[in-house]
Amino acid sequence: MPSETIPLSILPPLAECFYCTCYCEENAWKMCESVQKNFPNELSRAYAVFISNDERKVPLWMQKQSPSEEVPIVWDYHVIMVHQHPSSGSQVYDMDTSYTFPVDFEKYVTTAVGTNDRLMEEFYRFFRVIPAQEFLDTLASDRSHMKKEDGEYKSPPPSHPCIVAKDGTTMNLDSFIKMEKGTGHGEVMTLAEFTTKFMESSD
């Protein structure tokens, strides 16, 4: 048993969290940063999770932008945070879901992610799972992926400076989105592997 009581949520209410539409990797980075500041003992149980595939077509259900629960949103990639709660099981922090914040992992993976059985193979979801501290140290984004040919942003960027990796790297976002096992930071998992990792109880 943990030596201290850990609240169900290790983040403030969603309305009090940093959020910038279309910049999910920075939203997740800010979530991890918040845990580092406010619940440092829980950082080792927190993970940033990139969801994508080779086609960059990943359907997710129960998203706020979806017109109904039956219709998925197809992202090129999406990023969430998962916390392996020591007593309540794993919790998912997805700022774009219509579920609560956080939401129980089993509920999220069963209904928001759902089985691959109903999908064509090109839509199968893969998951790059990165320990939160590693994510904070290594993500770098100069936001160039969000710029149009004329230099204008496709969507207004966050007001804070671009995220630079601890080693000085200024752009490596593609290496996080790429779903090739044995490459980049963290571990690339199939849906089955991802489910198994976070359905298991934490010590």
Task: Based on the residue annotation, tell me whether 145 is a catalytic residue of this protein.
Answer: no
Task: Based on the residue annotation, tell me whether 76 is a catalytic residue of this protein.
Answer: no
Angstrom distance (rounded) from CA 80 to CA 68: 21
Per annotation, catalytic residue among 78, 83, 85, 185: 78
Of 201, 195, 198, 197, which is closest to residue 115 (Cα–Cα)?
Answer: 195
Per annotation, catalytic residue among 32, 83, 85, 94: 94
Per annotation, catalytic residue among 24, 32, 85, 96: 24
Task: Based on the residue annotation, tell me whether 94 is a catalytic residue of this protein.
Answer: yes
Provide the annotated active-site residues. Answer: 24, 78, 94
